[in-house]
Amino acid sequence: MKYVEEFRDSARARILVTEIERLIGAIAPPEDRPIHIMEVCGGHTHSIFRYGVEGMLPKAIELVHGPGCPVCVLPMGRVDDCVSIAEQEGVVFATFGDAMRVPGSKKSLLQAKADGADVRMVYSPMDALALARKNPEREIVFFGLGFETTMPSTALTILQAEREGIINFSLFCNHITIVPTIKAILDSPDLRLDGFLGPGHVSMVIGAAPYEFIARFYRKPMVIAGFEPQDILQSIWMVLKQIAEGRCEIENQYARVVPEQGNEAALAAVARVYELREFFEWRGLGSIDHSGVRLREAYARFDAERKFALANVRIADPKSCQCGEVLKGVIKPWQCKVFGTACTPETPLGALMVSSEGACAAYYQYGGVKEPQAAA
């Protein structure tokens, strides 16, 4: 595949690994521990495991798998709301595939479907809108989920529905924003991170400027990274180079996709349709101020939260779950008390075990239970 295989070339990978090893030699390790680099985005986590990147790195580097898997950070109460909407008479509940297995307090959407709810897997919000056109007698509720990556396509779908005067379509909005979350992690007292791989697809929409505070106020380097394994190795090398040279900057490795200023049309659609919520609840991280969006008043008629009476109950994460500590890089997935025992991909307790982008599921599936890949 053109423009794909070039980025998976093993000869180039070896050169990058050698360069990384050389740089590591030049850096005095902080407090006798490995250098911790967090990849914020779940897409990176997936690539790292899929291509075995972690095992290629020197032991002096430890990758911390961040909160950027939107399926993983979805709180149980919101899943319960999904189920309660989906189970109402006349509703077709349209969702992305990997949200179907996320456990609620009683059941997942997959179980609700088995119990008779009309839950359909779609690949785009426009597919959900097409369902609304085709089934005028049903209410089609789209489960809007994801960071700034998926936010614009949902916004454009709402604008399209408005233009067409479609009245049987609504959005259950669970879109979240990455910047307040990175800030929450940086403010955490047990922080042990030395640098970040910035989320490539989010940055394609928002550009590089919103991350400036990370370099300026928190003095941490960040490199916006692409998703091919070579992108990841190069970005790690760029983070290390900043550390070696004592710089803290926001650099863009993924320049072939990410414009410095972001995507203006996408940002305009987002600004038009959504407003920030005062706070949003994250699984594993708790409530984070201004970290979620909802539909503006002008689009209230498309807002499932206003159309349906929802319990909106906050359900605490299971006590044994240490998702929050894993997300913040305090512990590794396999150090969690329930990893691989009470919590497995078949019966996930914590959200990180649900999606293949979740750090725990990735370790379980690609890294193994007893022997983490890094140690292999």
Partner 1 sequence: MNIVAPIVKSPRELGKVCVNSVTLAHGGGGRAMKDLVDDVFVRAFDACSCAPLEDQARLDLAEFAARGDRLAFTTDSFVVDPLFFPGGDIGKLAVCGSVNDLAVGGAVPLYLSCAAIVEEGVAIDVLREVARSMAATAAQAGVKIVTGDTKVVQRGSCDKLFLTTTGVGAIGAGVALGVDKAAPGDAVLVNGVLGDHGAAILCARGDLALDAPIESDCACLHGLIAGLLEAAPLVRFMRDATRGGVATVLNEIAEASRAAIEIDEDSTPIRAEVRAFCEILGLDPLYLANEGKIVVVAPQRQAEAALEAMRRHPLGRDSCRIGSITAGEPGRVTMRTSFGGRRIVDMLVGEQLPRIC
Chain contacts with partner 1 (rule: CB under 8 A): 1, 4, 8-10, 13-14, 17, 42-43, 46, 49-56, 70-71, 96-101, 110, 121, 123, 127, 145-147, 149-150, 201, 229-230, 345-346, 355-357, 364-368, 370-371, 373, 376
Q: In what order do the strands lie in the sheet with 222-224?
A: 61-68, 35-41, 195-198, 222-224, 250-252
Q: What minimum distance in Å lies between the beta carbon of 42 and partner 1?
A: 8
Residue from 270, 82, 303, 257 nearest 178 by CA: 270
The β-bridge partners of 118 are: none
Q: What minimum distance in Å lies between the beta carbon of 186 and partner 1?
A: 23
Tokens standing for residue 241:
């180079």
Q: Which is nearer to partner 1, 8 or 290 (CB)?
A: 8
Q: Which residues contact 323 (CB under 8 A, 6 or more apart)?
A: 72, 283, 284, 317, 336, 350, 351, 352, 360
Q: What minimum distance in Å lies between the beta carbon of 35 and partner 1?
A: 19
Q: What minimum distance in Å lies between the beta carbon of 246 and partner 1?
A: 30
Inter-residue contact 109 to 80 (CB < 8 Å): no
Q: Which is nearer to partner 1, 98 or 317 (CB)?
A: 98
Q: Which is nearer to partner 1, 67 or 221 (CB)?
A: 67
CA distance 6 to 357: 24
Q: Which is nearer to partner 1, 242 or 254 (CB)?
A: 254
CA distance 146 to 143: 10
Q: What minimum distance in Å lies between the beta carbon of 28 and partner 1?
A: 28
Inter-residue contact 229 to 47 (CB < 8 Å): yes
Q: What minimum distance in Å lies between the beta carbon of 150 and partner 1?
A: 6
Q: What minimum distance in Å lies between the beta carbon of 364 and partner 1?
A: 7
Q: Which is nearer to partner 1, 117 or 215 (CB)?
A: 117
CA distance 307 to 335: 43
Sign of CA dihedral 340, 345, 347, 348: positive
Q: Which is nearer to partner 1, 142 or 221 (CB)?
A: 142
Q: Which residues contact 370 (CB under 8 A, 6 or more apart)?
A: none
Q: Which is nearer to partner 1, 70 or 324 (CB)?
A: 70
CA distance 92 to 140: 5
Q: What minimum distance in Å lies between the beta carbon of 171 and partner 1?
A: 15
Q: Which is nearer to partner 1, 202 or 223 (CB)?
A: 202
CA distance 145 to 250: 27
Q: Which is nearer to partner 1, 123 or 297 (CB)?
A: 123
Buried b (16+ CB within 10 A) or exposed e, 305-339: bebbebeeeebebbeebbbbbbbbbebbbbebebb
Residues in the chain: 376
The residue type of 225 is A
For 141, the enclosing helix (H) or strand (E) is strand 139-146
Q: What minimum distance in Å lies between the beta carbon of 181 and partner 1?
A: 15
